Amino acid sequence: MARLLEIVQAATSTLDLERTLSTAVERMGEVVPADRCSVILVERPDDPHARVVAAHGVAGFVPLTIDLSRYPELRRALDERRPVYVEDALADPLMVDVRHHLQPLGIRTILVHPLVQDGEALGALSVRLTRAAALDTRDRAFVEGVAAALANCVRNARLHTSLRRRREQLEGAYVDRYRELADANRRLRELNRLKDEFLAVCSHDLRSPLQIVLGHARLLQATALSGAQSASVAAIHRQSGKIIQLVESLLERGRGDAGQLALQPRPLDLGELVAEVGSEFQVLARERGLMVVADAEPGLAVIGDEVKLREVLQNLLTNALAHARTRVLLRAERLERPDGEVVRVLVEDDGPGIPPELLHGVFDRYKHGGSGTGLGLAICREFIDLHGGETWAESAEGQWARFLLTLPVATDARVPAPLEPPASAAPAPRVLLLEDDPETAALVSRTLRGRFRLETVRDGREGLARARSAAPDLVVLDAFLPGMDGLDVVSALRASADTASIPVVLISSHPSISEKLQSLQLGSGVDFQGKPFQPVELLARVERALRLREAERELERSRLLLRHAGRDPSTGLLDREGLAGRVVEEFARGQRHARKLTLVRLALPTLEPGAAARAIRQNLRAHDVVAHVGDGLFALALPETDLGAAEVLCRRLMRRLEPGSTGSFRALDAMAQPTAGQALGVLLGGDLDG
């Protein structure tokens, strides 16, 4: 019993199979009067070979492989999974075929006990003696106990080996997959670089011929032309300039994450823009036998990016002309709503309409249903969302389809007229020119003198000192100046509170300076003028910069309209005040269009707010609203989402953000509350109504 206990302890205390089996046969040799004790293992039940891995009573033993056909007692024990006891090997009929092998060895008694675990024969424990019937009942019981312990040991060792091999395979697969992903990321970065280079070259190659077209158009405008010719030249000039703007917009969108879509807002008359775009599409409509009816109220003042709003209208009109039977209606009008006054634009065609099952997805990216909508409408929604507006579609199948958008009205904004020469009674704006090249300085001086009070400085440091002391209305400077680089001058102006608001026009012949200027994030008051330039171009940029400075109050209001107010400084998300405004808007939309709106409170007290904000934003849709209301408490407004879907989303977020379940969430059906303020108050635990 003591030896059996040692064998069991050895079998259960280590996974070193070779050492355990050697210990077992040695201890057996101390108890059983055997001439040889051996442990034989098989890999598969149908394997004709086995391997002797441990033996006692053999000097200088080394593991060896045996043929089971020469050991009938082993083969029977493995096949029948029961012990085989041969009292006299020379007389037992089982051993008749191998008797001539056993007789020279003097073997008489053989006991083979199979190592069986979960019905599988893993091997056998063999005991051989030179004396007949030398094993009594206690000896055979002892061998049975050892065999049971060794069977469990072999099973555990093989499982461990299998698991280790599987782990090595998984680690190898992980390494291979990591290498594949790293290689894919490298290729993706290379493709992204090639894409950026392609877009840059494409935009540059498009700009050059367009600049030539513009130049010839200006030459023609300076000659005597008939009325029709003058109108055609003006159209060529105008449309070439718009194409250049679209090329710049394409380049901006092509930069991906490095170039997020940004607005260049200014006060404008949306009615005039609608009328102009409608007039431009008249020719295309007539070629298709269609009619474009443009109807716009005058004085529809909004604050927005003219290039992007023009692209929205062109996308909607192009889509409508592709489906219209006889006509397309383009209408802009002022509309009174409970949450404020807006400008509504409607584009309607008399085509086959949009099936109801496809209507909800027309603004999704890459959706190409029966209506033929695709990426263009998704871009339209993105642009209008940036302007603080909304877009939606309506349809009567077989009769018409409408695409509608709304933009907030600029209540006190006036659309600025072109800057006229100042009256003699009022002082002209003061312009400071920093330019070391005499020819360029003379050209700029001839262009601006007479309209502005111009002062010229040829050194960067001297110019910066002059700007700080004289406080000019505008600074025009070259990118490369002696004493101090032009970009450093611009950075120094923006770093000082006294000069931060002075508009700047930077002149350079290197297109890359424009991109570097944008990367410095110096604000919207810095413009770029490439060399060589036409005097009228520089004059237009100077006048625009001065108009933008005069419209500073309107631009501040535009930032509110564009949702850049009410931000939490620690996360960049909306704060409590900004959230209340957005929830009121979404609540009003839900009431008008019978849409769902769910509000969610997420408490994440253990996470850093900035990291949590980024993770939450990555897991939501573009039009979902996220706010940080303090102390790790986040609030979400999920349009067109019911309570069940919101709870599923929150659980997924909590698993990703708070694996330890230290956070919590609460979801609320906002449309079940009387007002948006009461819904938000219930959610956040305070009355925010009004």
Is residue 559 one of the residues assigned to a domain?
Answer: no
582, pLDDT greater than 60: yes
* The two structure tokens encoding residue 6: 């040692």
Task: Indicate the SS3 state at residue 40.
Answer: strand
Question: Mean pLDDT throughout 172-180?
Answer: 87
pLDDT band at 690 (very low <50, low <70, confident <90, very high): very low
**Does residue 274 share a domain with residue 398?**
yes
Question: Mean pLDDT throughout 518-527?
Answer: 63
Identify the pLDDT of residue 413. Answer: 45
**Does residue 274 share a domain with residue 386?**
yes
pLDDT digits (tens, 9 = 90+) for 484-520: 888 888 888 888 878 888 898 888 866 666 555 555 5
Identify the pLDDT of residue 416. Answer: 43
Full DSSP string of 363-393: TSTT---TT---HHHHHHHHHHHHTT-EEEE
CA dist., res. 511 & res. 488, Å (int)? 18
Question: Mean pLDDT throughout 661-665?
Answer: 76
Full DSSP string of 134-185: ---HHHHHHHHHHHHHHHHHHHHHHHHHHHHHHHHHHHHHHHHHHHHHHHHH
Is residue 420 one of the residues assigned to a domain?
Answer: no
**Does residue 132 share a domain with residue 14?**
yes
pLDDT digits (tens, 9 = 90+) for 432-483: 999 888 878 888 888 887 788 899 998 888 989 899 888 898 999 888 888 8
Identify the pLDDT of residue 205. Answer: 66
Is residue 258 one of the residues assigned to a domain?
Answer: no
Task: Indicate the SS3 state at residue 437.
Answer: coil
Is residue 228 one of the residues assigned to a domain?
Answer: no
Q: Give the range among 7-16, 81-90, 448-457, 597-606 with minimum mean pLDDT.
A: 7-16
**Does residue 618 share a domain with residue 538?**
no
Contacts of 579 (CB under 8 A, 6+ apart): 566, 625, 627, 629, 635, 637, 680
pLDDT band at 668 (very low <50, low <70, confident <90, very high): very high
pLDDT band at 255 (very low <50, low <70, confident <90, very high): low
Identify the pLDDT of residue 329. Answer: 93
**Does residue 38 share a domain with residue 139?**
yes
**Does residue 439 share a domain with residue 361?**
no
pLDDT band at 348 (very low <50, low <70, confident <90, very high): very high
637, pLDDT greater than 90: yes
Task: Indicate the SS3 state at residue 341.
Answer: strand
pLDDT digits (tens, 9 = 90+) for 413-433: 444 444 444 444 457 889 999
pTM over 0.75? The answer is no
pLDDT digits (tens, 9 = 90+) for 585-595: 888 888 877 88
Is residue 221 one of the residues assigned to a domain?
Answer: no
**Does residue 43 share a domain with residue 98?**
yes
What is the span of the domain harbouring residue 66?
Answer: 2-164
Identify the pLDDT of residue 248. Answer: 67
Question: Mean pLDDT throughout 124-129?
Answer: 90
CA dist., res. 249 & res. 262, Å (int)? 10
Average pLDDT, the chain: 81
CA dist., res. 467 & res. 461, Å (int)? 10
For residue 261, the Cα-to-chain-centroid distance in whole angstroms is 15
Last residue of a domain, one of 141, 164, 187: 164
Is residue 424 one of the residues assigned to a domain?
Answer: no
**Does residue 596 share a domain with residue 538?**
no
Identify the pLDDT of residue 638. Answer: 92
Task: CATH number of the domain at 437, please.
Answer: 3.40.50.2300
